[in-house]
Structure 1
């Protein structure tokens, strides 16, 4: 009987000890997740693991801007008086980065472009004839496109203006983008709704 009691006590002690270890591990796991959940979700999303556990919204919380707008300075009137006011107004209240207002005088333009792309969830590219004629704006597009490819995420929103009717007018890299990706046309009657949805 004594051996049986000792055996029961040993089994009970082992059970309590194992239960305590398991509960401690579970509690530690919850505490670790609670403390680092945003980093864990970002890692899962970037590595395309457990896609149901993390969404792009979880990853996009650290950006300073909702979008950087790439455009030719000759199209500044449309950007400053139509596009920006509509996107920054309620109910959307998107935070936008534009050359005219947010670039710092005296800093290298390329550095500011790279910084604007890196600190924005999206890059809106407004493609007009003026855009196509400007080496700088095409360079901005290439930088944003390469960033999107590196991250394997859709970060580009391209708007094709009414003065660009044929895609064969585009340079080869732009043509590849337009042939493989959905873009917005400025003359679409649902243009504004589609743009807000894409944001």
Structure 2
């Protein structure tokens, strides 16, 4: 921070603390920006006697959850200062966004001073505010002026109650990782938390039991118990089988073929004996290849099972215009998609019970369809029916099912 080019902040008294307040200013910043932030706070404290600033490394209660510490300190502060940088957006601000139900009450009632230290993507909930640029020659005097301005004269961080996300058909609501995703081996099926409904889903899933039941269905998928799930077992077993096959072939050449060729009396017996020995030699080789390819076969089979379980869950979620998709064994995606028009198309089908056809389609295809919506990519779109669909852009659910059935 270049203090030489800045105007010295006027020594105006900061507003007194109310009985419920402990700090004049709560400062949140990335550890990468600590040196710059401490320099700014040190100067403010030197110029304003009695100024109380909350910094996480010195004022958070040890042993408490960081989110609880942040919420309590924001509540006990007059104002909030955020030092914005790409490091901050990716670390510190994501904690706030992780549970806006916890911070929404605090941030709606606290003035926020956003300081742009380095160019970054300004968080959506701060985009309506005018931020201060650290490179501005009058930056310090502006910060000091805002610090001394009564809270009721400043804009709040959120303009009224926290707005819900704008919903449209095909919108991705949430990507949910399983519990302890980073420590899970690649062959293990993830387990997803059902303790509470994530914030992005609360607007469309008001009943938490629907979410818990739907995710609980997926949690019922079992991981394999075979020892082949371990790479340390598959590789030694494959090496042993390959060596066994090589040794068998070598013994065949040394002891078998010469005697069989010299036996001119019975060609049929010789042919059968050669065939049997070759088969016994190739069998360990085939078993070795199958052992090495076990994980790929398991993954395909397990993903099919997971897809069917997701389809069962989507039978519960579809009436709420939500579909679940699962591209890997440890990550879920939720999309908002309106299916009523597609359901009516199934009801008009001449083949039979339209409602049963719709449920069968949800079971078989809803998981893959949700994944296509998340990726905004529909393979084989050229095979889509020429009729107008119910989703733009992309394929609606009934069109997607039609394409999949035509492909077999």
TM-score of the superposed pair, with normalisation by structure 2: 0.29
The answer as to 2:44 corresponding to 1:90 is: no
Counterparts of 1:14-163 in structure 2 under 5 Å? 61-62=18-19, 63-80=21-38, 82-134=39-91, 136-140=92-96, 146-149=105-108, 151=109, 155-161=111-117, 163=118
1:70–1:140 CA contact under 8 A, matched in 2: no
Question: In the TM superposition, what is the alpha-carbon distance from 1:125 to its structure 2 partner?
Answer: 0.4
Q: Which has the larger radius of gyration?
A: 2
RMSD of aligned Cα (Å): 2.3
Question: In the TM superposition, what is the alpha-carbon distance from 1:177 to its structure 2 partner?
Answer: 2.2
1:184 paired residue number: 132
Specify which structure has the higher proportion of helix: 1
Q: How many pairs align?
A: 129
2:26–2:73 CA contact under 8 A, matched in 1: yes
- The alignment partner of 1:116 has SS state of helix
Structure 1 residues 73, 145: closer, same or farther in 2, change over 3 A? farther
Structure 1 residues 115, 72: closer, same or farther in 2, change over 3 A? same
Structure 1 residues 92, 186: closer, same or farther in 2, change over 3 A? farther
Structure 1 residues 94, 140: closer, same or farther in 2, change over 3 A? farther
Superposed CA offset, 1:146-186 (max 9, x none): 5232x3xx51011011x21x6xx34xxx23522x2222111
1:144–1:156 CA contact under 8 A, matched in 2: no
- The alignment partner of 1:181 has SS state of coil
2:71–2:106 CA contact under 8 A, matched in 1: no
- The alignment partner of 1:140 has SS state of helix
TM-score of the superposed pair, with normalisation by structure 1: 0.57
Question: In the TM superposition, what is the alpha-carbon distance from 1:145 to its structure 2 partner?
Answer: 6.1
In 2, Cα distance between equivalents of 1:148 and 1:110: 14
Unaligned runs of 5+ in 1: 1-56
Question: In the TM superposition, what is the alpha-carbon distance from 1:138 to its structure 2 partner?
Answer: 3.1
Unaligned runs of 5+ in 2: 1-14, 148-408
